[in-house]
């Protein structure tokens, strides 16, 4: 299987299956000298850990990370960083009834047709548990960005019909409710909505918004490797994501040019924008304003409600999916979206160092006293 690696200079490769002995990631290309400990990574993993409240799967995993390589005496060495997280609470027996049928909304059918074989225990590589490696790598990328004064923050903007309006954000409240919404008031309403769906053996989708602040101008390449294009690839590679928006997103199709264009003005000696409909990108490059993206997350596919499907032999049947599943994926996916954004930005920042001869000279000519 190819396609488990993302990035050019800051490269990550995730590995492992949902019901295997462990999952993890190898991070290659992280500069030497970055302060990094297991606790730095654990903080991120704890944000996606299962079993934290009634809106997450009851699978009980500590998700404790181990650094196997690439760090010495608390600093990265420049060599590949290998991170491992053991699986400890697998219940493969919960998936016995789906070994011979295809679950609606899951990757079972195309996986079987592509490879002629599939690990039906929790979906194998198609499981959301694969995202643990992304989050661990995202912790490393976020530390790198922090060294450059860049912050990435994600949160739940909506759950089903309940949306936090942009003028009602209280970012300090994100960590105060189990849905990670920037409004405790809206989170309470969304929670009641989810309670109803749980009783109905159903699930919900929602939207995650992510912002990055402190980006310099010019990150991203003007043609195929546009900042927004690579962000879209990174975010769409998360299993439950069905759409990605940058800035105003699909709303631009109903706008007119005079409204959609972001006017420039001088803010002291700095060029700034009066609005940010573009979401922080122009021509595939960062424009120095706040980067804004949104990911639309589908409802959890694994629901206990009876559904129509077919067997591997091609016979019509019905299925009720048992086991421990999230009634909504969105809250635990918040840190996944944040991590993939950080990884993309870290990679493009490293690539950008070679965009001008002046940048190269700052690195190599200084020791030779070249002017």
Is 331 annotated among the ligand-binding residues?
no
Is 57 annotated among the ligand-binding residues?
no
Q: Name residues whose C-beta falls within 8 Å of residue 280's C-beta, 6 or more positions apart in sequence.
A: 212, 215, 246, 247, 286, 287, 288, 289, 290, 291, 292
Is 304 annotated among the ligand-binding residues?
no
Q: Which three-class secondary structure state does DSSP give residue 254?
A: helix
Is 163 annotated among the ligand-binding residues?
no
265 in Cβ contact with 274 (< 8 Å)? yes
Is 274 annotated among the ligand-binding residues?
no
d(CA 345, CA 287): 14
Q: What's the token pair of residue 23?
A: 């999952």
Cα distance from N-terminal residue to C-terminal residue, the chain: 49
Is 37 annotated among the ligand-binding residues?
no
97 in Cβ contact with 319 (< 8 Å)? yes
Tokens 């936090």 locate to: 164
d(CA 64, CA 45): 8
Q: How many residues does the chain have?
A: 371
Is 263 annotated among the ligand-binding residues?
no
286 in Cβ contact with 216 (< 8 Å)? yes
Is 114 annotated among the ligand-binding residues?
no
Is 300 annotated among the ligand-binding residues?
yes
133 in Cβ contact with 5 (< 8 Å)? no
Which of 302, 355, 305, 364 has the alpha carbon at shortest distance from 329? 302
H helices of 10-160, in order, are 38-48, 108-115, 131-147
Which of 126, 162, 187, 137 has the alpha carbon at shortest distance from 1? 126
User: What distance lies between CA 61 and its chain's CA centroid?
Assistant: 20
Instruction: Count CB atoms within 10 A of the CB of residue 21.
Output: 11
Secondary element (H or E) of residue 285: strand 285-286
Which of 218, 223, 163, 226 has the alpha carbon at shortest distance from 193? 163
Is 121 annotated among the ligand-binding residues?
no
Which of 13, 56, 53 has the alpha carbon at shortest distance from 203? 56
Q: What's the token pair of residue 86?
A: 């053991």
Binding site residue list for FMN = 125-127, 283, 298-302, 324
Binding site residue list = 48, 54, 125-127, 283, 298-302, 324
Binding site residue list for NADP(+) = 48, 54
């Amino acid at each position: 299987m190819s396609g488990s690696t993302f990035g050019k200079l800051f490269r990550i490769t995730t590995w492992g299956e949902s019901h295997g002995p462990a999952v993890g990631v190898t991070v290659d290309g992280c500069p030497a000298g970055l302060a990094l400990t297991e606790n730095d990574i654990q903080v991120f993993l704890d944000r996606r850990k299962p079993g934290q409240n009634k809106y997450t799967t009851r699978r009980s995993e500590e998700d404790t990370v181990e650094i196997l390589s690439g760090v010495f005496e608390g600093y990265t060495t420049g060599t590949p960083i290998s991170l491992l997280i053991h699986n400890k609470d697998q219940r493969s027996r919960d998936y016995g009834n789906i070994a011979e049928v295809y679950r609606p909304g899951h990757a079972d059918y195309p996986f079987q047709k592509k490879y002629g074989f599939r690990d039906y225990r929790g979906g194998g590589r198609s499981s959301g548990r694969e995202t643990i490696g992304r989050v661990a790598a995202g912790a490393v990328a976020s530390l790198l960005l922090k060294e450059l004064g860049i912050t990435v923050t994600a949160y739940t903007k909506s759950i089903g019909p309940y949306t936090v309006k942009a003028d009602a954000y209280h970012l300090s409240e994100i960590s105060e409710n189990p849905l990670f919404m920037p409004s405790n008031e809206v989170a309470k309403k969304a929670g009641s909505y989810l309670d109803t769906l749980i009783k109905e053996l159903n699930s919900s989708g929602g939207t995650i918004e992510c912002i990055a602040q402190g980006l310099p101008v010019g990150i991203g390449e003007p043609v195929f490797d546009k900042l927004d294009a690579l962000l879209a690839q990174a975010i769409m590679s998360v299993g439950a994501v069905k759409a990605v928006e940058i800035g105003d997103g699909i709303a631009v199709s109903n706008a007119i040019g005079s409204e959609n264009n972001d006017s420039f003005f001088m803010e002291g000696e700095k060029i700034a924008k009066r609005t940010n409909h573009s979401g922080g990108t122009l021509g595939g490059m960062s424009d120095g304003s706040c980067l804004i993206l949104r990911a639309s997350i589908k409802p959890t596919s694994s629901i206990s409600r009876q559904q129509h499907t077919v067997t591997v032999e091609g016979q019509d049947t019905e299925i009720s999916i048992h086991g421990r599943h999230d009634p909504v994926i969105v809250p635990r996916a918040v840190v996944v979206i944040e991590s993939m954004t950080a990884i993309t930005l870290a990679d493009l920042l490293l690539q950008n160092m070679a965009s001008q001869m002046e940048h190269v000279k700052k690195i190599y000519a200084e020791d030779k006293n070249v002017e």
